[in-house]
Structure 1
Amino acid sequence: MTEEELTILPEEKRETVETSYSGDDIKTLDWKEHIRLRPGMYIGKLGDGSQNDDGIYVLLKEVLDNAIDEYMMGFGKQIDIEVSEYTVGVRDYGRGIPLDKVVDVSSKMNTGAKYDSKAFKKSVGLNGVGIKAVNALSTDFYIKSVRDGKSIAIEYSCGEIVSDSGIMPSDEPNGTFVRFTPDNSIFRDYRYREEYVVPLVKNYTFLNTGLSIYLNGKRYFSRNGLLDLLKENLTTEPLYPIIHLKGNDIEAVITHTKQIGEEYYSFVNGQHTTQGGTHLSAFREAVSRTIKEYFGKNFEYSDIRNGIVAAISIKVEEPVFESQTKTKLGSRDMGPEGPTVAKFIGDFIKKELDNYLHINLDTADILQKKILENEKERKAMAGVTKAVREKAKKIAIHNKKLLDCRVHLSDPKGDEDKKEASSIFITEGDSAAGSITKIRDVETQAVFSLRGKPLNTYGMPLVDVYKNDEFALLRAALNIEDSIDDLRYNKVIIATDADVDGMHIRLLLLTYILQFFPDLIKKGHVYVLQTPLFRVRNKKTTRRAGTRQSKKSGKESTDDTYYCYTDEERVTAINKLGANAEITRFKGLGEISPEEFRGFIGPDMRLDRVTLRKEDAVAELLEFYMGKNTVERQNFIIDNLVVEDDSQIS
């Protein structure tokens, strides 16, 4: 009996159960064994590269951070990166690791130069762990240092030295080269994706003006720092020219757009702190206070910040992060002898932003108009919001449309893996929800069933949207009424049918989210569930329970059944089964039996994350597809109509 099982027994029965606990149970792991056994402690989640915070990108960052630190210290203006699907190479042109310490730096925990703030005053990595984690979690890890006409190269496999060149003469320029291939047994079926690597590289250039990074031969470079970053990430036009403020160890950019809510990008020593921290809290407070004092009016902070898009970057000596992945700053002070983070940022913003507004009166006027509009809308919403919340609470008590799960992202305590896995499926009607409901994981998977097609919210005033019962219940289920920081589910999954109505419902939901809660998408919480369009099976094979194929198309199960997500996969399956092929076209989720559905929403479910980029021209897309230009859309459909030959799938 396990200790966990023992602890749930009644007290009087526990003493009768023997548990084995001796010196043999005490183990000491070496550095690489511990990293490989508990990788999450060092790099956060694992993943397969399908999400931008998966572990393989953390490995890339750990290596790249060391190269960036060299640049920040004034050595090397170029970094070369080669990324294939499975292997990464990073070459910097800094000073190079001292040759006699290359083995120590790459394979001995808590070894590095960054404990001494004189060598690396404002570094990201301070605990001597990162590069060792990359080494231990890679089947092939190669590191070469070139320093003053000499070099040394060490090759490892899963942390074990495979070869050591020793110190040799070299005519290469100084610097360090690291190449690694993540272990496929840890990062299962992983693949590096360009759409996640490129933004990562761009952020490094925005934060290090003058640095050239060549990714697979393409140069990335920034002249204007955070100003370029904000221009790159804005999906709507700013209401006024972006305010750009720079000082020693601090840089900030601020503007407002028509979007609802607040949007921030925060960085410490070049590290993207996606979860914010003490510096972001201080920045938000300082901006609000400075603007309020400038206008001399009793504006609410929420009215000042609604619609704001901003970025803050600071450099801190010996930063303290709340985890090894460095996504949230915990430091209270700028350094051992420096001011507090709050005072440093507050003093800078107070002086520079106040001066800017006094000089740029046109910008100040536009900003004031935006604040007054926010105030007017908030007051108009106050009564409506209260009534809607009260109504939603009453309905929610008896709301049979929401089947909740037990673990939520916003839970203050609990298993972090389960909190991360927490999901809500938004389905169209009870029949579609039926299959999911019967086989879902009640620990982490909730289901919200729509009552038909939701409202088209494009161009509607916020007051009118809030009166809609369907969206009121959805907001209550997600718990995003006040802020998406309170979001109850890590993944909001739109699970609609693969037909015209399903696609329309998907578009209506995305229209609502894009207009009123774009941060849900920008922070990577919104997904679309991909389910098979066809089942192709051998009619002569007896189907046996428990032998269904997994969701991954192209893999044959014991009952010769293939689930196909595209026409190409369907044709491939038909060719394999020949004359015995029986083809079923799934036109709705309700047509898929619960047992068949089990694999489609399991740990390997096929999800497409909804992303938002400037080049997507979201405003124009929404206006065309969801606006009042009915005739224009009709002509577009007529001109682009594709007729499917049903005889091929009968």
Structure 2
Amino acid sequence: MSAHPDLHRDGKEEVVVKEKPDHYDGSDIKVLEGLEAVRMRPGMYIGSTGPRGLHHLVYEVVDNAVDEALAGYCTKIDVTIHEDNSITVIDNGRGIPIDEHPKEKIPTVEVVLTILHAGGKFGGEGYKVSGGLHGVGVSCVNALSTRLEVVVCRDGGKHEIAFERGKTVEKLHRIGDADHTGTMVTFWPDPEIFTDTVVYDYDTLAERFREMAFLNKGLHIQLTDEREHEEDGSFKTESFQYAGGIVDFVTWLNRGKETLNTPIYFTAESAEGTVEVAMQWSTSYSAHGVLAFANNINTHEGGTHLDGFKNALTRTINEYARAHAILKEKDSNLSGDDAREGLAAIVSVKLHDPQFEGQTKTKLGNTEIRGLVQGAVTKGLSEYLEENPAPAKRIISKATQALKAREAARKAREMTRRKGVLDSFSMPGKLADCSSKVASLSEIFIVEGDSAGGSAKQARDRKYQAILPLRGKILNVERAGLHRALSSDTISSLITAIGTNIGEDYNGDAARYHRIIIMTDADVDGAHIRILLLTFFYRYMPDLINRGYIYIAQPPLYGLKKKNSKSGKILKYIYNDEAKDKLMAELDDPDKYDIQRYKGLGEMDPEQLWETTMEPETRTLLQVTIEDAAAAELAVSELMGDQVEPRKEFIQKHALDVRFLDI
């Protein structure tokens, strides 16, 4: 049996189900009315039914309020997580219209909540600019909630309407007078849809709202969590409001870094839209600090606005360096990576009809915006450099140092190629490769030390599982340049085994494995090695993270066995402290059992390692993603960079969250 969906313009989805090849008539066609299509295939509309999709429901509602702010009518948004994980979003915008819709003959607020693609963003005059990635709006939130209630204040009255799983259960009715305008939406996510968990993560929401506040200068967003109380008994709450907008954003990104200039800011506007740019260099070695947004959407895959920025930046830096004889006639031009090394920048464009493309629909395709960004950056940056010679000299010096390091790294690559280290036919000696040559079916375990490597090699399925043991801790690439990274045998082995190369030679399509699994001990040293590896991938192979190729293995922390058992057989593997405590509480006689704590992978025999950590049918893998590039950039630079104070603050803040510590 097969099913093929077609999404119609009216929001209805037609599903063709073929039971038998010789039986196909009108009775085989089912038309999904209203929001039924959303409930049948929620992943098509919100991305997934896991934590990402669950949080996306909040973003859809908040996006509507932000659209009111972009239109100049909303200044404050309050988001509350209630004890039962329901969500309330309140804004002080104009309020969703409550008059009768001329076509549907029902209140407009009911149209917006029950009909897909209904709203002020689709060809009407409601909004010139709007956010929201998928354009499906709050109707999807309604469809995927057990209940959704809306209170609208406008035209002097307070009006309420309620829905259950997308269907109207309480018609719009007036419940009182109002001397202000705005909208309040409360919804309860449907556990039938979000079967994993219906628990909102405060930090995930906070990071998103901080980003939104940065991108919308002056907008006040407040997040309250009624599930947690402060010492004085009040609810946990946090406010985000930035008078400096994206200037404050780059300052926040560079927190804890030694900077070379005060933030540069410029803006430009045309019939195509508006562009805002803020930028500031630091002594960091990172060349991945440019974040691009289109209508508040983080365009992780880049697009025309980012292309325009990069082209103008590189050309302007080179022209200034040539004009002031910093680059001599015989010197090579600075590359884009040279110009961007140590740069934190925000490129934010607002346009009427954004065209998104790419695998995750986060790549901007509007060609007309490229020229607008390019012109704004060329003019704004040129003027800044000419008017500020001292920081300009520091910025160009930073770029020329990056050029020298890049040339040194190129020579190192050529030398290692001649030695055969980066030759695809000369794999690292410690690599136990798999027999499969199909990358999509192959996986590599990066393991800590020869002991764990030996167990993993015995445990693996050599058809598709490769093992690469690491010797000691790898270099912290956040504190070292590319040329130093390439001089490390451990990093060279890692690059060679994966097959993509790095820097100018990087090619993600050449990856030899589509699952790169970090498998380290469950202790402090193992955690340190894991973060060093993640820092390396984030800085030099971020595309592999975006492709979903990087994973973290989850070995068990404990094994439960009977005391004095001759076989010593493990009855149950336990993966965290909460599960251990729960299991011990459920045992009839806990004294009859021993809990074995696994500090290292080498303590498990190959059979146990396979069963718990490597067998695809029984193992648990955590896929590494970059949900918030700004938060990731800050975390990596704070925790792995040269500045001690931000790291100290982080440790003090999260010390109580440590679940175990080996001393």
Pick from 206, 227, 230 the counterpart of residue 250 of structure 2: 230
Distance (Å, rounded) in 2 between the aligned partners of 1:118 and 1:398? 65
Describe the SS at the equivalent of 1:232. Answer: helix
Q: Is the 8 A contact 1:266 1:276 kept in 2?
A: yes
Q: Which position in structure 1 is the counterpart of 2:239?
A: 219
Q: Does 1:107 align with 2:132?
A: no
Deviation of 1:616 (Å): 4.2
Q: Which amino acid aligns with 2:244?
A: N
Following superposition, the deviation at residue 341 of structure 1 comes to 0.8
CA contact 2:132–2:297 (8 Å) conserved in 1: no
Equivalences for 1:513-528 in 2 at 5 Å?
528=552
Which stretch shows the higher mean deviation, 246-255 or 370-379?
Answer: 246-255
The residue number in structure 2 matching 1:22 is: 24
The 1:223/1:423 distance shift into structure 2, 3 A limit, reads: farther
Alpha-carbon shift at residue 388 of structure 1 (Å): 2.8
Other-structure match for 1:306: 341
Q: What CA distance in whole angstroms lies between the structure 1 residues aligned with 2:548 and 2:253?
A: 14
Alignment partners' CA distance in 2, 1:262 and 1:427: 27
Output the CA distance in 2 between the equivalents of 1:423 and 1:92: 48
8 Å CA contact retained: 1:240, 1:255:
yes
Paired position in structure 2 for 1:565: 576
**TM-score with structure 2 setting the length:** 0.76
Unaligned runs of 5+ in 1: 5-16, 49-53, 333-339, 412-417, 549-558, 626-640, 645-650
Among 258, 283, 302, the alignment partner of 1:276 is: 302
1:619 and 2:619 equivalent?
no
Correspondence 1:54-453 to 2 at 5 A: 54-84=52-82, 86-99=85-98, 100-116=107-123, 118-125=125-132, 129-171=136-178, 173-187=180-194, 188-216=196-224, 217-234=237-254, 236-248=257-269, 249-257=274-282, 258-296=284-322, 298-322=333-357, 327-332=362-367, 340-389=368-417, 390-392=420-422, 393-396=424-427, 400-403=431-434, 425-429=445-449, 432=452, 447-453=466-472
Task: Tell me, yes or no, if the aligned pair for 1:117 and 1:317 is still in contact at 8 Å.
Answer: no
Match for 2:334: what amino acid?
Answer: F
Contact 2:524–2:662 (CA<8 Å) still a contact in 1?
A: no
Check whether the contact 1:41–1:324 (CA below 8 A) recurs between aligned residues: no
Contact 1:429 1:449 in 2 (8 A): no
1:479 to 477, 481, 500: 500
Q: Distance in 2 between matches of 1:246 and 1:624?
A: 31
The CA distance in 1 between the partners of 2:376 and 2:96, in whole Å, is 36
Q: Secondary structure at the match of 1:178?
A: strand
CA deviation profile, 1:163-222 (whole Å, cap 9, x unmatched): 224345432521111112222232221421121111111111111112111211532210
RMSD, aligned CA: 4.1
Deviation (angstroms), 1:20 = 4.7
Taking the aligned partners of 1:429 and 1:500, their CA distance within structure 2 comes to 15
Paired residue type of 2:641: A
Gap change, CA 1:295 and 1:424, over 3 Å in 2: same
Decide which moves more: 524-533 or 342-351: 524-533
Distance in 2, Cα, partners of 1:598 & 1:357: 55
Cα distance in 1 for partners of 2:339, 2:302 equals: 20
Change (3 A) 1:84 1:519: farther
Once the two structures are overlaid, the 10-residue window that deviates more, 180-189 or 307-316, is: 180-189
Provide the secondary structure at the position in 2 that maps to 1:279: helix
> Does the CA contact (< 8 Å) of 2:471 and 2:490 recur in 1?
no
Cα deviation, 1:306-329, whole Å, max 9, x if unaligned, reads: 332211011111212238975222
Residues 152 and 525 of structure 1, relative CA distance in 2, 3 Å threshold: farther
Residue 110 of structure 2 aligns to a residue whose secondary structure is helix
**2:559 aligned residue:** 535
Give, in whole Å, the separation in 2 of the partners of 1:142 and 1:174. Answer: 17
In the comparison of the two structures, how many residue pairs are matched? 578
Residues 151, 599 of structure 1: alpha-carbon distance in 2 compared, 3 angstrom cutoff: farther
CA distance in 2: counterparts of 1:198 and 1:642, whole angstroms: 28
Q: Distance in 1 between matches of 2:490 and 2:454?
A: 19
Checking the alignment, whether the CA contact within 8 Å between 2:160 and 2:175 is kept in structure 1 is no
Q: 1:621 to 1:107 in 2, by over 3 A?
A: same
Aligned-pair CA distance for 1:124: 2.1
Q: Is the 8 A contact 1:529 1:607 kept in 2?
A: no
Q: Describe the SS at the equivalent of 2:173.
A: coil
Q: 2:42 aligns to what? A: 39
Give, as a single letter, the amino acid of the residue that structure 2 aligns with 1:565: N
Displacement after TM superposition at 1:31 (Å): 3.6
Change (3 A) 1:496 1:621: farther
Distance in 1 between residues matched to 2:177 and 2:614, nearest whole Å: 58
- Write the distance in 2 (CA, Å) between the matches of 1:541 and 1:3: 53
Tell me which amino acid in the other structure corresponds to 2:74: G
Indicate the residue corresponding to 2:7 in structure 1: none
**Is 1:587 aligned to residue 609 of structure 2?**
no
Q: Distance in 2 between matches of 1:115 and 1:515?
A: 39
Structure 2 CA distance for partners of 1:226 and 1:431, relative to 1, 3 Å: same
The secondary structure found in structure 2 opposite 1:357 is helix
Identity percentage over the alignment? 31
Query: Any gaps of 5 or more consecutive residues in structure 2?
Result: 5-18, 99-106, 225-236, 328-332, 627-631, 648-659
Name the stretch that deviates more: 81-90 or 162-171: 162-171
Structure 1 residues 277-299: Cα deviation after superposition (integer angstroms, max 9, x where no partner): 22111111121122222333543
Q: Quickly say closer, same or farther: Cα 1:624–1:67, change in 2 above 3 A.
A: closer
Contact 1:106 1:135 in 2 (8 A): yes
Residues 29 and 397 from structure 1, CA distance in 2 versus in 1: closer, same or farther, beyond 3 angstroms? farther
Amino acid at match of 2:37: H
Contact 2:430 2:469 in 1 (8 A): no
Partners of 2:211 and 2:294 lie apart in 1 by 12
Counterparts of 2:377 and 2:290, CA distance in 1: 16
CA contact (8 A) 2:214 2:246 kept: yes
How far apart, CA to CA, are the structure 1 residues paired with 2:160 and 2:461? 49
After superposition, what is the alpha-carbon deviation per residue over 1:507-532, rounded to whole angstroms, capped at 9, x for unaligned? 65456557766898899986654422
DSSP-derived class of the 2:30 partner: coil
Q: Distance in 2 between matches of 1:490 and 1:363?
A: 44
Aligned to 2:520: 496
Q: 1:515 to 1:330 in 2, by over 3 A?
A: closer
Tell me, in whole angstroms, the C-alpha distance in 2 between the residues paired with 1:94 and 1:2.
Answer: 46
Change in 2 beyond 3 A, CA 1:523/1:263: farther
Q: Distance in 2 between matches of 1:442 and 1:231?
A: 49
Tell me the distance in 1 between the aligned counterparts of 2:79 and 2:646.
Answer: 40
Conservation of the 8 A alpha-carbon contact between 1:574 and 1:581: no
User: Which of the two has greater strand per residue?
Assistant: 2
After TM superposition, give the deviation of residue 134 of structure 1 in Å: 1.2
SS in 2 for 1:214: strand
Kindly provide the CA deviation profile for residues 311-355 of structure 1, in whole angstroms up to 9, marking residues without a partner as x: 1011111212238975222222xxxxxxx2111111111211111
If the length of structure 1 is used for normalisation, what is the TM-score?
0.77
Residue identity matched to 2:97? P
Question: Relative to structure 1, is the Cα distance of residues 441 and 287 closer, same or farther in structure 2, using a 3 angstrom cutoff?
Answer: farther
Give, as a single letter, the amino acid of the residue that structure 1 aligns with 2:468: S
Deviation at 1:106, TM superposition (A): 0.6
